[in-house]
């Protein structure tokens, strides 16, 4: 087996981990209360929270959609006071979209609600020992996340990141 190929055992673990993480995310998203933020709004909020101010084109690019498709969503968020648009000080032709304090609070409340539901489910179905295993597993998952290189990265970039 070449060093660039993953052994079948590790691939099976990776497949199970990937499947479980996707199912967990989908379950938490699909079982949210009625009236909760839409997935599209959450994606915009998360990008603005993580990246700071962004242009509409930048947001659309990150979301993989056309800027025109984002217009109605941004207008609704702005009218609700969750985002604001400001001129770009570096390029007056551009407008920056910024998450407002109300937007940040809304995102934090949504995230906290999902975490509470996850914690409640864990307490209901897992033993304390199993919850400890998940605690360790979540730390290991963070290590793995940090080691995942973009698909087009060279092998040397991957090696350098691991060192």
Give me the architecture of the 35-149 domain, per CATH: Orthogonal Bundle (1.10)
- How crowded is the C-beta side of 107, counted as CA atoms within 13 Å? 22
The SS3 call for residue 18 is: helix
**Bridge partner list, 85:** 97
Q: Could you give the CA distance from residue 33 to residue 57 in angstroms, rounded to a whole number?
A: 31
* pTM of the model as a whole: 0.74
- Tell me what pLDDT residue 63 has: 92
Mean pLDDT by 10 residues, the chain (163 residues): 67 93 90 82 92 93 89 94 93 92 93 93 97 96 91 50 37
The three-point CA angle 18-154-10 to 5° equals: 30
Domain ranges of the chain: 35-149
Give me the residue label for tokens 């497949």: 15
User: 89-116 pLDDT, tens per residue?
Assistant: 888 888 999 999 999 999 999 989 999 9
Structure tokens at 3: 């060093």
């Amino acid at each position: 087996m070449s060093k660039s190929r993953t052994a079948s055992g590790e691939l099976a673990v990776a497949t199970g981990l990937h499947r479980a993480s996707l199912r967990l995310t989908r379950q938490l998203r699909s079982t949210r209360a009625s009236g909760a933020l839409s997935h599209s709004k959450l994606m915009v909020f998360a990008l603005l929270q993580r990246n700071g101010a962004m242009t509409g084109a930048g947001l659309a690019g990150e979301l993989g959609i056309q800027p025109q498709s984002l217009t109605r969503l941004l207008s609704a968020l702005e009218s609700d006071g969750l985002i604001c648009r400001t001129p770009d000080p570096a390029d007056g032709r551009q407008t920056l979209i910024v998450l407002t304090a109300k937007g940040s609070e809304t995102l934090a409340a949504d995230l906290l609600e999902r975490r509470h539901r996850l914690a409640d489910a864990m307490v209901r179905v897992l033993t304390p020992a199993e919850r400890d295993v998940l605690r360790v597993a979540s730390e290991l998952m963070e290590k793995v996340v940090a080691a995942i290189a973009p698909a087009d990265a060279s092998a040397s970039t991957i090696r350098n990141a691991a060192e």
